[in-house]
């Protein structure tokens, strides 16, 4: 087995391959190009999108050359795979701006620099809008469309489900376009491998077949396990919605907390998938008698460091340890926490608890804040506030002249007072 592939197996990525031996042999022989596609459906990627890119990271390190394909063109269609309903269509402008912001996020895991360093393959980023938007419908049907059997497409699991609920023609075309992408990448860039989540299996196989029918070389498809959580919740979803990589949408502190709170059963698996720690090092966390919480802290730290950088990871960890751990609760350690700033004069005049909580992320409306307060889950520092009429003034300030609001036992929010 090719060592790069073996790494992916050992880390728990791989689900299926079109021709494992063939791929392994090819990768032993030469540095290959492979690609992953992402749709530009949102402003930010979330953590669930990242699995294939983490895999690309390992392959790049082994000398292979990743292509990240932003689906500027395919996003206009919408992939029906794994979805029960048609996706709303986005404007071209939205898609363009989305794909721009995704580029920077992918750089955290795949190295797109001109000179990635010894042994690493050179990566590139492409956008399929470049070739899809100028397609001529008749030509496309004659050259590409004729290779697709509707009978066969309908037998794919991805479409079967949608046949129950309805599937529009535009979505039915998605597979052709994704296959065409692979064909173009093979022709123009000698790309031999497409990787993706297991829900992409049908689309990937179609691409491999299309290239063969068009007279190209043998190409390969490799899919990864869809990441699930032990409790059955969807990966990358949290109480606040998707765990986005954009710090504006999901703060690095909350991001850290998300990983800090994964299930026991998921911890080792996630360390393998979502960090670059060596397997030997990860194995030390599996030993008898090791506190699982140490592993979770490591997971949270490493993952935050990869996505948001070392500085943010340090801040998030310090803040977490200041409240949950033994680390001293100093102003410096609070830096990573989500916060708002209010004027001293306002605080001296007194602010209603409800309003104060509603201004933080802990509650979005006064009513929600009221429920929290009446339910006994609202705290300021170590003081529980259970009267919705309570006025918060400067007497609540802690030794650092700040307010630390808390919802329940583990959601903290920092209020900085400006003089």
Tell me the Ramachandran region of residue 232: left when phi exceeds 0, alpha when psi lies from -120 to 50, beta otherwise.
left
Question: How many other β-carbons are positioned within 10 Å of the β-carbon of residue 403?
Answer: 25
Tell me the Ramachandran region of residue 248: left when phi exceeds 0, alpha when psi lies from -120 to 50, beta otherwise.
alpha
Q: How far is the CB of 21 from RNA (least distance, A)?
A: 39
Contacts of 388 (CB under 8 A, 6+ apart): 353, 354, 369, 370, 373, 374
Residue 275 lies near RNA (rule: CB under 7 A):
no
Judged by CB under 7 A, the stretch of 36-44, 245-253, 259-267, 397-405 that binds RNA is: 259-267
Judged by CB under 7 A, the chain residues 9 through 28 that form the site for RNA are none
Handedness of CA 315, 316, 318, 319 (dihedral sign): positive
Q: Which of 46, 104, 36 is nearest to 74 (CA)?
A: 36
Judged by CB under 7 A, the chain residues 351 through 370 that form the site for RNA are 352, 354, 358, 365-368, 370
- When binding is defined by CB under 7 A, the residue of 34, 69, 372, 405 that contacts RNA is 372
What phi and psi, each to the nearest 5 degrees, are found at residue 71? Answer: -85, 55
* First-last CA distance in the chain: 65
Judged by CB under 7 A, the chain residues 305 through 324 that form the site for RNA are 320-321, 324
Judged by CB under 7 A, the stretch of 101-109, 122-130, 273-281, 373-381 that binds RNA is: 373-381
Helix 201-213 and helix 157-165, axial crossing angle in degrees, nearest 10: 120
Q: How far is the CB of 389 from RNA (least distance, A)?
A: 5
Judged by CB under 7 A, the stretch of 26-34, 151-159, 190-198, 371-379 that binds RNA is: 371-379
- Cβ distance to RNA smaller for residue 96 or 235: 235
- Residue window 380-399: x/- pattern of binding to RNA, with contact defined by CB under 7 A: --------xx----------
Q: Are 313 and 256 in contact (CB under 8 A)?
A: yes
> What is the Cα–Cα distance from 38 to 109, expressed in whole angstroms?
14
Residue 165 lies near RNA (rule: CB under 7 A):
yes
- Cβ distance to RNA smaller for residue 325 or 350: 325
Instruction: List contacts with RNA (CB under 7 A).
Output: 163, 165-166, 168, 230-233, 238-239, 257, 260-264, 292-293, 296-297, 320-321, 324-325, 352, 354, 358, 365-368, 370-372, 375-377, 388-389, 407-411
């Amino acid at each position: 087995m090719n060592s790069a592939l073996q790494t992916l197996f050992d880390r728990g990525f791989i689900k299926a391959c079109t021709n494992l031996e063939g791929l392994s042999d090819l990768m032993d022989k030469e540095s290959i190009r492979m690609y992953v596609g992402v749709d530009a459906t949102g402003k930010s990627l979330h953590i669930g999108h990242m699995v294939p890119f983490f895999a690309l990271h390992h392959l790049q390190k082994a000398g292979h050359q990743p292509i990240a394909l932003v689906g500027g063109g395919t996003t206009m269609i919408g992939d029906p795979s794994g979805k029960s309903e048609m996706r709303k269509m986005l404007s071209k402008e939205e898609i363009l701006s989305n794909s721009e912001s995704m580029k920077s996020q992918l750089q955290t895991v795949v190295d797109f620099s001109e000179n990635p360093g010894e042994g690493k393959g050179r990566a590139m980023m492409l956008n399929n809008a470049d070739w899809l938007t100028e397609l001529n419908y008749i030509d496309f049907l004659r050259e590409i469309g004729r290779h697709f059997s509707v009978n066969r497409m309908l037998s794919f699991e991805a479409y079967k489900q949608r046949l129950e609920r309805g599937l529009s023609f535009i979505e039915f075309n998605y597979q052709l376009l994704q296959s065409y992408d692979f064909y173009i990448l093979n022709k123009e860039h000698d790309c031999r491998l497409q990787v993706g989540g297991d829900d992409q299996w049908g689309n990937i196989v179609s691409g491999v077949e299309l290239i063969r029918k068009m007279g190209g070389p043998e190409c390969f498809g490799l899919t990864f396990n869809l990441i699930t959580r032990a409790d059955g919740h969807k990966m990358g979803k949290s109480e606040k919605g998707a765990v986005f990589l954009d710090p504006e949408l999901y703060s690095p502190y909350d991001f850290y907390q998300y990983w800090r709170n994964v299930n026991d059963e998921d911890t080792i698996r996630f360390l393998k998938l979502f960090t670059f720690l060596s397997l030997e090092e990860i194995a030390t966390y599996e030993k008898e008698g090791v506190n699982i919480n140490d592993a979770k802290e490591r997971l949270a730290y490493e993952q935050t460091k990869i996505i948001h950088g070392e500085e943010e990871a340090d801040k998030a960890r310090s803040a977490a340890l200041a409240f949950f751990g033994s680390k001293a609760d100093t102003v410096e350690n609070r830096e990573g926490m989500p916060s708002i700033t209010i004027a001293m004069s306002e605080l001296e005049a007194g602010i209603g608890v409800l309003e104060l909580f509603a201004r933080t992320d802990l509650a979005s409306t006064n009513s929600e804040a009221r429920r929290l307060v009446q339910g006994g889950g609202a705290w300021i520092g170590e003081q529980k506030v259970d009267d919705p009429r309570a006025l918060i003034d400067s007497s609540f300030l802690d030794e650092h002249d700040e307010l630390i609001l808390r919802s329940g036992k583990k959601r903290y929010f920092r209020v900085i007072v400006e003089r």
